[in-house]
Structure 1
Amino acid sequence: MAANRAVAYKEPGKVEVVDTDYPTFELKDGPGVNPANVGRKVPHGAILRTVASNICGSDQHMVRGRTTAPPNLVLGHEITGEVVETGPDVEFIKVGDLVSVPFNISCGRCRNCKERKTGICLNVNPDRPGSAYGYVDMGGWVGGQAQYVLVPYADWNLLKFPDRDQALEKIMDLTMLSDILPTGFHGAVTAGVGVGSTVYVAGAGPVGLAAAASAQLLGAAVVIVGDMNEDRLAQARSFGCETVNVGAGDLPEQLGEILGVPEVDCGIDAVGFEARGHGHGAQAQEAPATVLNSLMSITAAGGALGIPGLYVTGDPGAVDEAAKHGSLSLSLGTGWAKSLSFTTGQCPVMKYNRQLMMAILHGRLEIAKAVNAKAIPLQDAPTGYAEFDAGAATKYVLDPNGYIKA
């Protein structure tokens, strides 16, 4: 049987590349695996040799110790791979196919899946709707920052690339289809971005940059990205965004200098629960509701907020007792008074990934360039995590099996 190597969370601030089991068509007991999923048969699954698996900001929340993730959890929910084995119930996906894996695991059979709400599948996580690879409280499906990974419901979940050679040429773009590109696009769509919109994106990390690029694709007139990290703001400017340093002054005033008015049509939160207070420089204290409240204040009446940033129900490192359980001090009255709408939760990746694949393959979107993607070997994952956590304006793409050209 083939060997397998994977990236595992060890303790706050530490990941390691470890030897681990080669996947089988059955869920085994292990770190983070829901007991009700142990022994679950996966005849509908496929085993992939990983082509690319990206480090995500959502992974960083776990690695910082800001979730209830257990030690030795194998990480990785942004997966692109080559099919090397299929279960007996797989009919259409074939060995040798090059595929993108939506980070949300879904069955294709439940009511929510049939309504295209694949981020809240009812059948893959015994505890609550919704699941993902290598993620705390998501059912215990093993992560894909590894040489090999199991994908359940393969015929349903996997997006096959139409041409292998073309896909490998554009693999640094196509690897973003598993999560950050559809997630950013979902943020822009749910914020109501359209032709001529003015858009503010809070956060210049990879998801924020993907949301900004998506807003441009959707026809926005002006896309403004806010952050405190000057390197990441420079990355946003590199593909035509306006930027504001939220630690350097009043946000509405800075928006007014760009737009002539202190508000935007559409607001996108690509920060999440580890947000820091605006207007206080890089050492600002954590204030988990600050981005949501500022977005309500600067989004025009009748507008919408897309919220792809992660919010959790269990945060041991939160600033107060309420926030430890996901309860934040939201100015909901502001939202009500302005008739704002909100969309939260996992992006239903399958709602967008094929269309975005076509945009990439036909040269309409250079997402790898927008997020400054950099391929590194699997053994360099700890360095990638450390540099990303320190604020590098880089999207790290793990190359466990040497598919990615220099």
Structure 2
Amino acid sequence: MSSSNRIVTYKSPGEVEVQSMDYPSLEIPGQVADHFGIPKKAPHAVILKVVTSNICGSDQHMVRGRTTAPVGQTLGHEITGEVVETGEDVLFVGEGDICSVPFNIACGRCRMCDEGKTGICLNVNPARAGAAYGYVDMGGWIGGQAEYVMVPYADFNLLKFPDRDQALDKIMDLTMLSDIFPTGYHGAYTAGVTTGSTVYVAGAGPVGLAAAHSAQLLGASAVLVGDMNRARLDQAESFGCVGIDLSTDGELADKIAEVLGAPEVDAAIDAVGFEARAHGEGAGEAPATVLNDCMTVTTAGGGIGIPGLYVTGDPGAVDAAAEEGTIGVRLGLGWAKSHTFATGQCPVKSYNRQLMNMILHDKAQIAKAVNATTIDLDGAPEGYRAFDDGAARKFVIDPHGMVPGRAAA
């Protein structure tokens, strides 16, 4: 058993580095234990040898310096791993099992967990409801872009894959179950996408592509994806979506009408979040753009899913109001059109088992949709740079060379 761990950390705006730290222990963070008056020792936890851990757009917000993340913040909330150590109270997963880890950390015992709202567990973060691995203001839990990671409340949190060999064979799809596949699906589902729906997805990054593929799985008749990055639009078009180029002149509604014959869609999904930009090549940041677009182009009575991240603290915001998450949303428009809005962290456990079955039975090809690409742990800094430059890829860190076709590190 290793006595050390290597992990990706935030160094400064635009920079991450791989650092050495202590091998994880079966203990929860001291601030969590102290705040809730619970033991630090965690017999309900496991240690995972990380099989894959993905770079997420939410990580990029921190790395760009657009959150209050401190230097040294550990990174990585999209985790798939092999159990290598279990606490004495863990009953239903064991050593050698390969499992997906929902990015939401949930106790499985509070009111919110009982109601299936695992994204806002009440017992895992002193600052607010909800916690995540390796994320600022999310409870101080160590991230999973690492060699090893500790997972608490393991019987509740882990999704065990039924067959190890099958899991490794499909790992590039299954790794997306920790976050972006359920998150994209949540955006589409809560927007009301169903058989025959027409759908607009704002953003062709990995979450937007996952939302677009999810809309297809839910039966959408047409999925339109808007972005200003031609390579990302090409990626969306590669699996049957219609790319809407927002870098060119013209109103979004008119561009939609050119495709559908009408300027509105049944449902819209905001997969961009608070770093949204206005339309047009070289346009500046305008954080309410996507939400206002979604209300403009969604038909009366339609739904808007908002998996894109919005924050309460943005030191790089365009103005003082946006620094605290106050942006110029035309709520009156959404009210007048009787829109429904769904916001917040995706409760991954509400979807991951069903989506796992879709992958295992070859009904979903999420790795292909998001253009999943493996890198090793030492390649993480370059992966972050390429992602920030707009690469039309989803970078998957393979710290132990366990992904088939890659040599062991």
The bucket for the TM-score relative to the shorter chain is over 0.9
RMSD: 1.4
1:330–1:35 Cα change, 3 Å? farther
- Aligned residue for 1:59? 59
- Paired with 1:27 and 1:364, the residues of 2 have a C-alpha distance of 37
TM-score, normalised relative to structure 2: 0.96
Structure 1 segments, 4+ long, off by >6 Å, are 32-35
Aligned partners of 1:296 and 1:335 also within 8 Å: yes
- Aligned residue for 1:18? 19
- Paired with 2:103 and 2:32, the residues of 1 have a C-alpha distance of 17
What's the CA shift for 1:28?
5.0
Alignment of 1:359-374 (within 5 A): 359-374=358-373
Are positions 1:272 and 2:270 aligned together?
no
Aligned partners of 2:29 and 2:140 also within 8 Å: no
What's the CA shift for 1:40?
2.6
Letter in 2 for 1:297: T
- Aligned residue for 1:295? 294
Are positions 1:237 and 2:237 aligned together?
yes
Aligned partners of 2:32 and 2:126 also within 8 Å: no
CA deviations 1:171-210 (Å, max 9, x no partner) are 0000000000000000000000000000000000000000
Alignment of 1:357-396 (within 5 A): 357-396=356-395
CA deviations 1:335-388 (Å, max 9, x no partner) are 010000100000000000000000000000110010000010000000000000
- Aligned residue for 2:253? 252
1:258–1:34 Cα change, 3 Å? farther
- SS of 1:146 mapped into structure 2: coil
CA deviations 1:244-284 (Å, max 9, x no partner) are 01121210000000000000000000000000002x21x11
What's the CA shift for 1:34?
9.3
CA deviations 1:133-153 (Å, max 9, x no partner) are 000000011000000000000
Q: Which runs of 5+ in 2 are unaligned?
A: none
Aligned partners of 2:201 and 2:269 also within 8 Å: yes
Q: Which runs of 5+ in 1 are unaligned?
A: none
- Aligned residue for 1:109? 109
Letter in 2 for 1:388: F
- Paired with 1:227 and 1:233, the residues of 2 have a C-alpha distance of 7
What's the CA shift for 1:322?
0.6
CA deviations 1:151-173 (Å, max 9, x no partner) are 00000000000000000000000
- Aligned residue for 2:351? 352
Aligned partners of 1:28 and 1:39 also within 8 Å: no
- Paired with 1:189 and 1:148, the residues of 2 have a C-alpha distance of 33
- Aligned residue for 1:334? 333
- SS of 2:320 mapped into structure 1: coil
TM-score, normalised relative to structure 1: 0.97
- Paired with 1:193 and 1:401, the residues of 2 have a C-alpha distance of 39
- SS of 1:186 mapped into structure 2: helix
Aligned partners of 2:183 and 2:211 also within 8 Å: yes
- Aligned residue for 1:263? 264
- Paired with 1:390 and 1:383, the residues of 2 have a C-alpha distance of 11
- Aligned residue for 1:181? 181
- Aligned residue for 2:399? 400
Letter in 1 for 2:13: P
- SS of 1:6 mapped into structure 2: strand
Letter in 1 for 2:163: D
- Aligned residue for 1:48? 48
- Paired with 1:299 and 1:50, the residues of 2 have a C-alpha distance of 41
Number of aligned residue pairs: give it: 402
Aligned partners of 1:204 and 1:227 also within 8 Å: yes
- Paired with 2:86 and 2:287, the residues of 1 have a C-alpha distance of 43
Letter in 1 for 2:358: A
- SS of 1:322 mapped into structure 2: helix
- Paired with 1:82 and 1:252, the residues of 2 have a C-alpha distance of 47
- SS of 1:200 mapped into structure 2: strand
What's the CA shift for 1:243?
1.0
- Aligned residue for 2:218? 218
Aligned partners of 1:34 and 1:140 also within 8 Å: no
- Paired with 2:326 and 2:380, the residues of 1 have a C-alpha distance of 33
- Paired with 1:25 and 1:405, the residues of 2 have a C-alpha distance of 30
What's the CA shift for 1:127?
1.3
How much identity, in percent, do the aligned residues show? 67
- SS of 2:8 mapped into structure 1: strand
Letter in 1 for 2:26: F
- SS of 2:200 mapped into structure 1: strand
- SS of 1:16 mapped into structure 2: strand
Once the two structures are overlaid, the 10-residue window that deviates more, 141-150 or 17-26, is 17-26
What's the CA shift for 1:2?
2.3
- SS of 1:73 mapped into structure 2: coil
- Paired with 1:170 and 1:25, the residues of 2 have a C-alpha distance of 29
Aligned partners of 2:28 and 2:152 also within 8 Å: no
- Paired with 1:128 and 1:384, the residues of 2 have a C-alpha distance of 31
- Paired with 1:305 and 1:28, the residues of 2 have a C-alpha distance of 36
1:132–1:337 Cα change, 3 Å? same
- SS of 1:308 mapped into structure 2: coil
- Paired with 1:284 and 1:153, the residues of 2 have a C-alpha distance of 45
- Paired with 1:369 and 1:171, the residues of 2 have a C-alpha distance of 12
